[in-house]
Amino acid sequence: MSASPLVAYPKDALKPERPDSSKPTASPLKRPISTAPPSSDGTPRPAVQTQPVRPRAKKDLAEQMNDEEKHKWVKGKKLGEGTYANVFAAHLRSDPSQKAAIKKIKVQQAFKDGMAPDALREIKHLQELNHPNIVRLISVFSSKDQNLNLVLEYLPLGDLEDLIKNIDTYRYSHADIKAWMGMLCRGVWWCHENFVLHRDIKPNNILIAANGEAKLADFGLARSFSDPGLPMSSQVITIWYRPPELLLGAKHYSGAVDIWSVGCVFAELVVRAPFLPGGNESEQLGLICKLIGTPTEDNWPKVTTLGNYAAVGAEVHPVTPREGYMARFSAVGADGVDLLMKTLTLDPKKRITARGMLDHKWFRSEPRPTSNENLPRQRSGGVEKMAADLKRVNPMEDDKDGRGAKVARKLDFGAMKK
Amino acid sequence: MAAEDVRYRQSTQYRLWSFSPVQLASTREQTNALARSNISERLLSNPPPPPPAASLKPPPATGASDATSGSNTPDPHAAAQQHQQQQAEQPYTLPEFLTPAEELQLLNYYTVELLRAANHFNLRSPMLASAAVFLRRFYATNSVMTYPPAEMLKTCLFFGCKAEGYYPNNEQFAQQFPKTKGEGILAGEFLLCQGIRFAFDVKHPFRGLEGAVLELRRYGDVDSTRINDASNRAKEILRFSPLVTDAYFHYTPSQIMLAALSLADQDLADRVLHETFHRHPQTEQKSNKSSNSSTSASTSEQRAALISSEVRARVAEAVNACRDLLAKEPPERLTSYWDTPESNNIIKPLLKKLRKCRDPDRFNLVELQKAKREEALRREEAEEKRAAGGGDKKTVEADGSVFGEALGGAGGGRGGEGRDVKRRKTEGKGGDPFGGPLG
């Protein structure tokens, strides 16, 4: 998309009312700021310290703006506590029916280089991404004790992982899967459309809003698309959802890495168990070879030049044909299986894009996707789950049953220079 | 309105950090006025020791640390001494403060310093540019007199790298500067984040320039060495001129890019604009037809042509204005202007003035950070105590939080922390939660 020169000259760009007030954007100029004259009489300070009779110094503009943001919210009870963050219920001061979750990020002792990358990335990207299928960052402010507070959308119905795992409690259908997948694809499409890679898509990062809408959360590993030639870390995405190019050590990759994860989530929704639950990287690669096919020069040109290709091993499994998938995934019909296969294509260049997924015929064929209000949903425990999901972010922390605990967040911090 | 424009308007760069020149000037005036009144207040309530000795201490870093730690710790002896001195000698007179114009001049100076450092480290363009933008945003709502720009620029460089996806080790990063410790760089980080309103994503014109180059090549009739020359020059301009001026506050990345391109090669920039708007009526017309079938084809065509020519004129106007702004600070100023005696004649007096009028409590970032940390710890302890208090103390707890809320909201500087802290203040003589001079 070429940059359009059409954005008008600032005088127009700065209308005081902003029709799109999706995020609070207090202009520093809307508030009259009283600037009391300094008490320039130079009266010497009384020897006895009297209590706060002297008017306090006014806050700097930056502090005033921060306080204004903070004052909009009333913090409620603590919903969860983790080593990375605490999560509180909250509501708008002006309208208590407007609920939110406040994630208060703790100062991380372990990270000696200031603000932790997780927090920085999450704030950076969520500030810019505004979409119904991406968790909304409503506001950010700092509290007096120098902690970061992220005001996030209130998502009281838990996450997709719960719905998948609790087979006895929740039943869902082909149409339900289609609805959730549609929402997931739209969220991922919006990320890619804005040149952001999520790099940690998995069921417990897909949260459910009060109206049943699914939202992509946890942008702690996200990053902008790299410029050509600049390497990225291949140690991203929780291992069960990690695409073969990352397992093989690719340093230059695209949105296709997220699409693979989406495919794994799709498969998991159907079989209600993780599709490729490898115990470590080589096991994961082995599973991919066995269940999807061994990457070779034929199905993926130049794959042998990737750093870890030696790990693939000598045994070559042919790429699983359509019938192989139909046996396991026929619940979503032939069209559904077609889409699944396109997301789980070995060669990332041939893998379907987010846009391509949205255009896929599965979403237009019968059955129609379930409407949000009719989707199966949690009846209890969702709030706690939200708190657990929100405070987690740092995956080194406990992950009760070890599901998805194997993300590697060792990132490649080299290459700062040209 | 074009889809890209709608998208740009959702960015934090537009929502939070775009102003008209008048708005920006008034923000800076407010910032300056607040700093004056706050610093006056602090100096008057706890005046620094008489000048002759103090003014002999030249280096800003060490000088600041002496001054602030002295006034920051509630040492009764020192206070008493000062009090005596004060009574014995003449009443303390306030220093002369920097004007908003002088602050801006210093900000420009420090921005150039930042760019020099960034060039020295060979930082990639987005990191260098983000760092510079962070510095200028920070000092839109904070005064140069309140927080030390020489320190903040290092913090901006460090955070600029982080915001662009590279996470340098802070100690190693600090070693690249003379007389700098990692601690000093981190001390300003949180302050910076708050000052830039947690808008970490800055949209730069560099990729836009690459796009324009591709466009120009696509036309097929433009000489490729000419394109390369223009592109190189424009890149050079983009790495300096928009960052040392207020271009990012007033113009979009694409406008800045076109302005830089037109400085490098006016005809090529005009060509890009021409090709864009030349084609525009057709696309406009098509979309009108499909979305609004009631409008007849001819009127929508006319309307499109009309809008298009009007928009084109406005775009050209914006690009020209931006070009004039950039032309004031050509890249050559990085080396030629700022090093010369005449620039020293302007900057040195300002630096001297700044040394006299800076905020006694806040200019030393490391000390300030320490005090805030200690205060936070104290509050946490107090909270735990309260929480452990259990059932019958419910009302007390509620009262406490009410006070906390009210004070915090109403804007007592470092005031909003219940009574517990106040009591503790007398116990430990470490950092004063209220920051000495106000207590």
Cis bond leading into A55, ω under 30°? Answer: no
- Rounded mean pLDDT, B414-434: 36
Among A4-8, B104-108, B409-413, the range scoring the smallest mean pLDDT is B409-413
Task: Convert the pLDDT of each residue in B249-259 to its tens digit.
Answer: 999 999 999 99
Compare A184 and A55 and report the one with higher pLDDT: A184
Which residues, at least 6 apart from A373, have a Cβ–Cβ distance to it below 8 Å? A211, A212
Q: B44 touching A, CB under 8 A?
A: yes
**H or E element in which residue B146 lies:** none
- Rounded mean pLDDT, A4-29: 41
- CA-based nearest residue in chain B for residue A220: B165
Binned at pLDDT 50, 70 and 90, residue B181 comes out as: confident
Q: Which residues of B touch A70 (CB under 8 A)?
A: 408-409
Pick from A25, A71, A115: CB nearest B15: A25
Q: Average pLDDT of chain B?
A: 77
Compare A323 and B83 and report the one with higher pLDDT: A323
In angstroms, what CA-CA distances link A113 with A110, B74, B168, B173, B184? 9, 31, 8, 10, 12
Among A99-103, A178-182, A400-404, B327-331, the range scoring the smallest mean pLDDT is A400-404
- Indicate the residue type of A4: S
- For residue B64, is pLDDT > 50? no
Q: Which residues of B touch A122 (CB under 8 A)?
A: none
Binned at pLDDT 50, 70 and 90, residue B388 comes out as: low
Cα separation, A61 vs A34, in Å, equals: 11
- For residue B74, is pLDDT > 70? no
DSSP for B176-243?
A: TSTT--HHHHHHTHHHHHHHTTT------SHHHHHHHHHHHHHHS-S-HHHHHHHHHHHHHHHTTHHH
To test the contact with chain B by mutation, choose from A58, A72, A113, A411 the residue with the greatest count of B C-beta atoms within 10 A, namely A113
In angstroms, what CA-CA distances link A174 with A204, A297, A334, A366, B27? 20, 36, 12, 10, 56
- Rounded mean pLDDT, B287-307: 55
How far A39 CA sits from the closest chain B CA (Å)?
A: 7
How many A×B Cβ pairs under 8 Å? 253
Binned at pLDDT 50, 70 and 90, residue B337 comes out as: low
Q: Which residues pair with A159 in a beta bridge?
A: A207
- Structure token pair of residue B326: 């950039």
Binned at pLDDT 50, 70 and 90, residue B310 comes out as: confident
- Per-state percent for chain B, helix, strand, coil, to nearest 5: 75, 0, 25
- For residue B201, is pLDDT > 70? yes
Q: Which residues of A touch B258 (CB under 8 A)?
A: 5
Among A235-244, B35-44, B331-340, B366-375, the range scoring the smallest mean pLDDT is B331-340
Which residues of A belong to the active site? Answer: 200
Q: A60 touching B, CB under 8 A?
A: yes
Best-predicted range by mean pLDDT among A33-42, B65-74, B274-283?
A: B274-283
- For residue B79, is pLDDT > 50? no
Helices and strands of chain B, counted as H and E runs: 23, 0
Compare A229 and B131 and report the one with higher pLDDT: B131
Binned at pLDDT 50, 70 and 90, residue B125 comes out as: very high
**H or E element in which residue A81 lies:** strand A73-81
Binned at pLDDT 50, 70 and 90, residue B439 comes out as: very low
Among the residues of A108-237, which ranges form H helices?
A: 117-126, 160-165, 174-193
Among A13-27, A306-320, B71-85, B108-122, the range scoring the smallest mean pLDDT is A13-27
The rounded percent of chain B whose pLDDT value lies above 90 is: 47
Among A276-280, B309-313, B337-341, the range scoring the smallest mean pLDDT is B337-341
Q: A94 touching B, CB under 8 A?
A: no
Q: What is the pLDDT of residue A113?
A: 82
- For residue A27, is pLDDT > 70? no
Cα separation, A116 vs A413, in Å, equals: 13
Please state at what angle helix A61-71 crosses helix B394-410, rounded to 10 degrees: 140
Q: B119 touching A, CB under 8 A?
A: no
Among A318-322, B172-176, B319-323, B370-374, the range scoring the smallest mean pLDDT is B370-374
In angstroms, what CA-CA distances link A3 with B10, B205, B233, B276, B405? 15, 9, 20, 11, 46
Which residues, at least 6 apart from B257, have a Cβ–Cβ distance to it below 8 Å? A3, B205, B208, B209, B212, B234, B238
How far B23 CA sits from the closest chain A CA (Å)?
A: 7
Q: B195 touching A, CB under 8 A?
A: yes
Asked if A38 and B41 come within 8 Å (Cβ–Cβ), the reply is yes
Q: Which residues pair with A153 in a beta bridge?
A: A100
The b-or-e profile of A119-147 (16+ CB within 10 A means b, else e) is bbbbbbbbbbbbbebbbbbbbbbbbbbbb
Cα separation, B17 vs A127, in Å, equals: 13
- Rounded mean pLDDT, B423-428: 35
Binned at pLDDT 50, 70 and 90, residue A45 comes out as: very low
Q: What is the pLDDT of residue A418?
A: 43
- Rounded mean pLDDT, B135-150: 94
- CA-based nearest residue in chain A for residue B161: A416
Cα separation, B213 vs B265, in Å, equals: 12
Give φ, ψ of B115 to 5 degrees: -65, -35
Place of tokens 């990759």: A253
Cα B132 from chain centre: 8
- CA-based nearest residue in chain B for residue A70: B409
Contact residues, B window 88-107, toward A, CB-based 8 Å cutoff: 91-94
- Rounded mean pLDDT, B216-230: 94
Please give the biggest Cα pair distance in chain A: 91
**H or E element in which residue B12 lies:** helix B12-15
How far A327 CA sits from the closest chain B CA (Å)?
A: 43
- Rounded mean pLDDT, B264-279: 90
The rounded percent of chain A whose pLDDT value lies above 70 is: 77
How far A332 CA sits from the closest chain B CA (Å)?
A: 35
Q: What is the pLDDT of residue A48?
A: 41
Cα separation, A109 vs A365, in Å, equals: 52
Q: What is the pLDDT of residue A233?
A: 93
Q: Which residues of B touch A28 (CB under 8 A)?
A: 27, 30, 141
How far A417 CA sits from the closest chain B CA (Å)?
A: 5
- Rounded mean pLDDT, B218-246: 95
Q: What is the pLDDT of residue A167?
A: 86
In angstroms, what CA-CA distances link A259 with A186, A317, A353, B221? 12, 23, 7, 40
Cα separation, A164 vs A141, in Å, equals: 35
Interface confidence, given as ipTM, is 0.80
The b-or-e profile of A35-67 (16+ CB within 10 A means b, else e) is eeebeeeeeebeeeeeeeebebbbbbbbbbbbb
Compare A214 and A413 and report the one with higher pLDDT: A214
Cα separation, B422 vs B428, in Å, equals: 11
Asked if B165 and A224 come within 8 Å (Cβ–Cβ), the reply is yes
- For residue B315, is pLDDT > 80? yes
Asked if A9 and B318 come within 8 Å (Cβ–Cβ), the reply is yes
- For residue A30, is pLDDT > 60? no
Q: What is the pLDDT of residue A284?
A: 95
Under a CB-based contact definition with an 8 Å cutoff, are residues A154 and A99 in contact? yes
Cα separation, B136 vs B127, in Å, equals: 14
- For residue A13, is pLDDT > 60? no
Pick from B45, B311, B411: CB nearest A54: B45
For residue A148, the SS3 value is strand
Q: What is the pLDDT of residue B405?
A: 36
For residue A158, the SS3 value is coil
- For residue B54, is pLDDT > 50? no
Residue B324 neighbours by CB distance under 10 Å: 11
Q: What is the pLDDT of residue B81?
A: 53
Asked if A35 and B30 come within 8 Å (Cβ–Cβ), the reply is yes
Cα separation, A417 vs A53, in Å, equals: 54
Q: What is the pLDDT of residue B69?
A: 39
Best-predicted range by mean pLDDT among A356-370, A383-397, B70-84?
A: A356-370
- For residue A106, is pLDDT > 50? yes
For residue B314, the SS3 value is helix
Q: What is the pLDDT of residue B377?
A: 75
- Rounded mean pLDDT, B265-281: 84
- Rounded mean pLDDT, B322-330: 95
- CA-based nearest residue in chain B for residue A18: B15
Cα separation, B279 vs B219, in Å, equals: 13
Q: A68 touching B, CB under 8 A?
A: no
How far A364 CA sits from the closest chain B CA (Å)?
A: 22
- For residue B242, is pLDDT > 90? yes
Residue A98 neighbours by CB distance under 10 Å: 14
